[in-house]
Amino acid sequence: MNSKTLFDKIWDSHVVRSIEDGPDVLYIDRHYIHEVTSPQAFNGLKERGIPVMRPGKTLATADHNIPTKDQHLAIRDQLSRNQVERLSENCQKYGIELFGLNHLKNGIVHVIGPELGYTLPGMTIVCGDSHTSTHGAFGTIAFGIGTSEVEMVLATQCILQQKPKKMRITLDGEVQNGITSKDIIMHIISEISASGATGYFVEYAGSAIRCLSMEARMTICNMSIEMGARGGLIAPDETTFSYLKRLSSIPGIKDLKSSINEWSNLKSDKDSVFDRDLIFDAGSIKPMITYGTNPGMGMAIDDSIPMTDKSGNEASSSFIKSLDYMGFKPGMKLLGHPVDYVFIGSCTNGRIEDFRAFAQIIKGRKKAANITALIVPGSKKVEQQMLAEGLMELYKDAGFEVRQPGCSSCLAMNEDKIPPGKYAVSTSNRNFEGRQGPGSRTLLASPLTAAAAAIIGMISDPREFITEVKK
């Protein structure tokens, strides 16, 4: 019998037809949509006069452009309001379930999918958003697509897709105190570069991955795209199943026990072969921070900015351009560098564990006067959890205002923009030029590192604030 990787097993069982010398016709189990990348796809259906083939397999939310204040009022920006209204109209017209603005289940698409039980092991999942890779944490093939492909899925529940190559990233060893899954994935990306996994689908394995909670795993899979991978997955295990058992309901699943029995088989065969195999030592990972304008430009927080880029090209124009944009120089240390903004939230770090981590450091302390903080829960459910656990009070006492859910400053489509030239320590996923607003300077980091910066007002090592052993 041919041994297969988990990726092969899920992919192969979803191929409706293989086209000779061409892509596969891949069946999609779950399709998430949002207001920004769907309107043109619905226009396409309208022009062709065709329906949505399986409206029950698509779920919609409004997240990318919505304000994070006064959500009960009409959206002030006319174009954004129009997009959100079009989403509502399209969902109503085509019979698609929508958790829109002010709905109790609203939130960032990659936060609500898992927490509401729509993301399940073994599924194929797509969404017009590159961070769809998040859902791979449940042992799914999940990847971001363009709007033409959104239209394909709406029309036929299938997508034409070339099967990517397979990479395994194994992480063994024990993670040190004060290190989060954000640091783990940022470390991997800094080692293999922002394009090091292009053309591949990644499986994360190893003892250090197995120890992680579901939310921590989602952070890892979420950033797979930041090294160019189509997606990343983790084989489901007891951690996955107990997460699912804790959910109040799972749509479409009648007998969870028998489903879990089935899902237990979802793993790579022992002797299955990957096109590329990488091994990292989790024990050597330190808190990470980025210094440049792509997520591959990251380093340990107590390191110095390298003198050359990854390929050793001293003063390559792209490397220098990037540091110039950030206002940094090669060889510079970042510890103690002043910070203006702190953003905690996004599909990378907008879940309850992230807000608990942030709280761990700010508890009993005060926000630094020079810091403007954007604290944005990933969903209504996360917001409710924060309230129930007393985090809202704790944040308030420390001088932080908690906003309403949305993608917010991660891509700054709404009003949550970082002003030109200002430095933001951000728990989001991209430090591209202007990503958080024109001229904004983003330093990607974990919620713990963001909290340390928020208290001190400068880039600071979060390990100095952590006394108890906590992963």
Partner 1 sequence: MPKVKFDILESTCVPLPFENVDTDQIIPARFLSATSRLGFGDNLFRDWRYTKTGEKNSEFILNNPDYSGQVLVAGKNFGSGSSREHAVWAIFDYGFRAVVSSFFADIFTNNALNNGLLPIVISDDLLKKLHNLVQKDPGTKVKIDLMNQTFTILMTGDSVKFGINPYKKECLLKGLDDIDFLLSMKSLITSYEKTKSL
Residues that bind partner 1 (CB under 8 A): 16-17, 19, 21-23, 25, 27, 36-37, 39-40, 43-44, 48, 50, 53, 64-65, 77, 79-80, 82-83, 86, 128-130, 132, 144-149, 151-152, 155-158, 160-162, 164, 194-195, 198-199, 225, 228, 230, 293-294, 296, 316-318, 321, 411-413, 420, 430, 432-435, 438-439
Residue 351: phi and psi, rounded to 5, are: -105, 170
- Minimum Å distance from CB 348 to partner 1? 14
- Rounded to a whole number of angstroms, the distance between the first and last alpha carbons of the chain is 40
Residue 169: phi and psi, rounded to 5, are: -115, 115
The 8-class DSSP code of residue 62 comes to -
- Minimum Å distance from CB 156 to partner 1? 4
Which residue has tokens 């906590």?
470
Partner residues linked to 302 by β-bridges: none
Our CB check for partner 1 shows the closer of 68 and 161 to be 161
**Count of beta carbons in the 10 Å neighbourhood of residue 207:** 13
Our CB check for partner 1 shows the closer of 134 and 360 to be 134
Our CB check for partner 1 shows the closer of 214 and 299 to be 299
Q: Is 160 exposed, middle or buried (0-12, 13-18, 19+ CB in 10 A)?
A: middle
- Minimum Å distance from CB 262 to partner 1? 13
C-beta separation of 185 from 232 below 8 A: no
Our CB check for partner 1 shows the closer of 81 and 363 to be 81
- Minimum Å distance from CB 230 to partner 1? 6
Our CB check for partner 1 shows the closer of 248 and 311 to be 311
- Which secondary-structure segment (H or E) carries 209? helix 207-210
Handedness of CA 288, 292, 297, 300 (dihedral sign): negative
- Minimum Å distance from CB 91 to partner 1? 14
Our CB check for partner 1 shows the closer of 75 and 111 to be 75
Range 17-24, long-range pairs (CB < 8 A, 24+ positions)? 19/160, 22/160, 23/160, 23/161, 23/162, 24/160, 24/161, 24/162, 24/163
CA contacts within 13 A on the Cβ side of 71: 23
C-beta separation of 354 from 346 below 8 A: no
Our CB check for partner 1 shows the closer of 89 and 174 to be 89
Which residue has tokens 């002043």?
338
Q: H/E/C letters for each residue in 273-316?
A: CCCEEEEEEHHHCCCEEECCCCCCCEEECCCECCCECCCCCECC
4: left (phi over 0), alpha (psi -120 to 50) or beta: beta
Our CB check for partner 1 shows the closer of 79 and 247 to be 79
- Minimum Å distance from CB 120 to partner 1? 14
Our CB check for partner 1 shows the closer of 82 and 372 to be 82
